[in-house]
Amino acid sequence: MNQVPSPVQPERFPKSNPGRAYATGFFSPEFTSLCPKTGQPDFGTITYTYTPAECCVELKSLKLYLQGFRNQGVFYEHLVNRLLDDFVAACKPVRCLVVGRFAPRGGITTSVTCTFGSATSANPSR
């Protein structure tokens, strides 16, 4: 059985311009996991938007962390909440928004949005 991704796997580096608040966004259009009921693959797009406090997340380590879910059976709602919780644990941002938009299954498209801090909700229909 494959190991579940570690919540501290994404590496960090010091934030540049420490006196300035700015948002950074990541877009991962090739996310895959497994349906915990059927074992069939789920496909989706994961988007992170965050305001770093003291450190930023390094992209290659985030990519490897996300790929760790490839063979994990997980419901969408649990997954997106886990992605947010692990991201917050890894870099302790001021605010963070994680959106998971998943390919249709049975004619239904699913979008899950989770926030930390004063992040505002994105439009899940986009």
90-104 confidence digits (pLDDT tens): 999 999 999 999 999
pTM value is 0.86
Active site residue 85: no
The string of DSSP codes covering 54-113 is SEEE-HHHHHHHHHTTTT-B--HHHHHHHHHHHHHHHH--SEEEEEEEEEEETTEEEEEE
pLDDT, residue 75, reads 96
Strand 55-57, strand 41-51: pairing? unpaired
Is 42 a catalytic site residue?
yes
Q: Say which of 42, 56, 96, 114 is annotated catalytic.
A: 42
Checking if the pLDDT of 83 tops 50, the result is: yes
- Which pLDDT tens digit goes with each residue over 28-78? 999 999 999 999 999 999 999 999 999 999 999 999 999 999 999 999 999
| pLDDT given for residue 6 in this prediction | 55
Cα dist. 79→21, 54, 60, 84 in Å?
28, 26, 20, 9
With CA atoms as reference, report the closest residue to 94 among 26, 28, 24.
24
pLDDT for position 2: 44
How crowded is residue 31: how many other Cβ atoms within 10 Å of its Cβ? Answer: 21
> In this predicted structure, what is the pLDDT of residue 119?
53
pLDDT value of residue 16: 84
Residue 17: predicted pLDDT: 84
Residue 56 and residue 90 in contact, taking contact as beta carbons nearer than 8 Å: no
**Average pLDDT for the chain:** 87
Which tokens sit at 41?
């693959």
Single-letter amino acid, residue 78: H
